[in-house]
Amino acid sequence: MSNDQNLESYFEAGDAPAVDARFRLAVMERVARRRFHLAIIAEFALFVAAALCFWMLSPTLGTYVIVLGQSQSNVLAILALVALGAFGGHWLVTRKGRFTWRA
């Protein structure tokens, strides 16, 4: 193929589409992957920080649990479940639709 034939075939093909769906899909996929990886890294860092805090506080918390004894264990269990439910519900509500459920 000569240079003239290359140019003719290029001009015969017409203009590129104004919106390239495959390119947009590839870019959207890369952005989604990057956001996913950043979210995983942030959640892992938060987990490590929380685990480190609990590890540092474990001697003190252990002392308080022993002092409170068996008589308060039911109350503490209920408070822990309520707190877990409250924080879990808050987390679910404030996720800003990252994972939406469909009926």
Contact of 68 with 76, CB cutoff 8 Å: yes
Alpha-carbon dihedral sign for residues 97, 100, 102, 103:
negative
- pLDDT higher than threshold 70 for residue 33: yes
Comparing 96 with 69, the larger pLDDT belongs to 69
- pLDDT higher than threshold 60 for residue 54: yes
Instruction: Quote the mean pLDDT of the chain.
Output: 81
Torsion angle (degrees, nearest 10) of CA 30, 34, 40, 46: -160
Please give the model's pTM, rounded to 2 decimal places.
0.47
Q: Percentage of the chain with pLDDT > 90? A: 30
**Residues 66, 60: Cα–Cα separation, whole Å:** 10
